[in-house]
Amino acid sequence: MKAFIIDRYGSKGGGRIGQVAEPEVRTDDVLVQIHAASVNVLDSKIRKGEFKLILPYRLPLVLGNDVAGVVVRVGANVRGFKPGDEVYARPDQDRIGTFAELIAVKESALALKPSNLSMEEAASIPLVGLTAWQVLVETAKLKRGQKVLIHAGSGGVGTIAIQLAKHFGAFVATTTSTSNIDWVKALGADIVIDYRKQHFEDALHGYDVVLNSLGNDVLGKSLRVLKPGGKLISISGPPSPEFAVEQGLSWPLKQVIRLLSYRIRKKAKQQGISYSFVFMRASGDQLREIGSLIDSGAIKPVIDRVYSLDSTADALAYVENGRSKGKVIVKVKQP
């Protein structure tokens, strides 16, 4: 089958279109014909080798972490899906590879596609939707009336997180560039900080939760926004000791990760703030919850551009420039 493959880790520009074997279908797997996938910053980080110690993929590797498509075949133990079902998923982290014509996904990671979405719209949701859910609902336990700052509101995670936080009744602030201010307000943001003109840490105070997807400089400044008892949750690092335990990493790697996050954890603790690192995991159950919010109109997908599978390298380059509004899609199955 045709796929976008990386043969080695490296900087921008790596990867090629080639042929790979069709995936093996295990007893609890669902084989999906991929109609669309979406590009995430995670794909770029994997390609550069930033996760090679934590996620030891075997090269050559097919990239891609989001999928929407149609069930072709199911494993012997699968009961929840049948051929012909339209589905979407973020595959388990050790089973990625959605920039391809087929993928085998564990049943537990899969959900039926919301009926009111196109394949391209559905492919934009899983990774960012699950990330927003696991930060705001699972980790922060966001409550009505709480104040949350969502950095990079025009990005893939930000666009969904704003809508999700508003659905749960939170007061939402976000950061973005000048050209996106009205756009993120339309998504539901109550306060928008233009990072080109304002320092968010001077303008915002007394917040309950910060969702950080930016660098360590922003992470440190975010402590000034939070009140005692607040929660600083990062999806861009540094990883926490809890994450190292969850991943089952070796003792030396656990110590490295403990050191990487020591400074921010210490600063947070001194101010009575908790620091968490969230590395999104696959969950069909949570995708069903998100799907019900999509069906009700509480969450709408946001798509910037659509590329063909043959142009996947261009799609990755566009995401890497950091200016996409919402999600960038790779359309695999052409009409």
Residue 297 lies in a domain: no
- What is the total residue count of the chain? 335
Q: What is the pLDDT of residues 231-240, one digit of tens each?
A: 999 999 899 9
Same structural domain, 57 and 132: no
Identity at 302, one-letter amino acid code: V
pLDDT at 10: 86
φ/ψ region of 152 (left if φ > 0, alpha if ψ in -120 to 50, else beta) reads left
| Domain membership flag for residue 238 | yes
Looking at the domain assignment, is residue 287 inside a domain?
no
CA distance 209 to 151: 11
Shared domain check, 219 and 174? yes
Residue 38 dihedral angles phi and psi, to the nearest 5°: -130, 160
Are 160 and 303 spatial neighbours (Cβ–Cβ below 8 Å)? no
d(Cα 3, Cα 99) in Å, to the nearest integer? 6
Amino acid of residue 130: L
The pLDDT, as a whole number, for residue 40 is 96
- Tell me if 210 sits within 8 A of 230, measured CB to CB: yes
Q: Do 137 and 101 fall into the same domain?
A: no
> Is 10 part of a structural domain of the chain?
yes
Domain that holds residue 40: 2-124+302-331
Same domain (yes/no): 134, 120: no
Q: Do 133 and 230 share a domain, yes or no?
A: yes
Which of 262, 277, 292 is at the close of a domain? Answer: 277
Bond into 239 cis (ω within 30): no
Summarize pLDDT for 159-215 with one digit per residue, the tens.
999 999 999 999 999 999 999 999 999 999 999 999 999 999 999 999 999 999 998
286 found inside a domain: no
The bridge status of strand 327-331 relative to strand 226-234 is unpaired
Amino acid 324: pLDDT: 86
d(CA 47, CA 73): 30
Please compute the mean of the pLDDT values over residues 20-39 and round it to a whole number. Answer: 98
pLDDT value of position 6: 96
Residues 108 and 136 in one domain: no
Instruction: Establish how many alpha carbons lie within 13 A of residue 173's alpha carbon, considering only the half-sphere containing its beta carbon.
Output: 23
Last residue of a domain, one of 277, 293, 321: 277
pLDDT digits (tens, 9 = 90+) for 44-59: 999 999 888 888 899 9
| Same domain (yes/no): 84, 187 | no
Note whether residue 250 is domain-resident: yes
Q: 208 and 79 in one domain?
A: no
Distance CA 224, CA 201 (A): 6
- Quick one: tokens of 222? 């975010």
Same domain assignment for residues 62 and 142? no
- Given 277, 294, 319, the domain boundary residue is 277
Question: Which DSSP string corresponds to 202-230?
Answer: HH--SEEEEEE-S-HHHHHHHTTTEEEEE
Q: What is the dihedral of CA 141, 145, 151, 154, to 10 degrees?
A: 110
Kindly report whether the global pTM for this prediction surpasses the value 0.75: yes
**pLDDT confidence bin for 12, thresholds 50/70/90:** low
CATH of the domain at 248: 3.40.50.720
Q: Is the residue at 78 inside a domain?
A: yes
**Structure confidence at residue 13 (pLDDT):** 67
Q: Summarize the confidence of residues 221-227 as an average pLDDT.
A: 97
Q: Are residues 134 and 270 in the same domain?
A: yes
Would you say 110 and 271 are in contact if contact means Cβ atoms under 8 Å apart? no
For the segment 90-148, what is each residue's pLDDT rounded down to a tens digit?
999 999 999 999 999 999 999 999 999 999 999 999 999 999 999 999 999 999 999 99
In this predicted structure, the answer to whether residue 151 has a pLDDT above a threshold of 90 is yes
Please give the Cα distance from 172 to 292 (Å, whole number): 22
Q: Which pLDDT value is given to residue 230?
A: 98
Share of the chain above pLDDT 90, in %: 92
Q: What is the mean pLDDT of the chain?
A: 95
The answer to whether residue 108 is domain-embedded is: yes
Domain total of the chain: 2
Same domain (yes/no): 136, 182: yes
Q: What is the pLDDT of residue 56?
A: 84
The CATH number of the domain holding residue 45 is 3.90.180.10
Residues of the chain with pLDDT > 70: what percent?
Answer: 99
Same domain for 266 and 178, yes or no, is yes
- The predicted-structure confidence for 241-263, as pLDDT tens digits, reads as follows 999 999 899 999 999 999 999 99
Does residue 24 register a pLDDT over 90?
Answer: yes
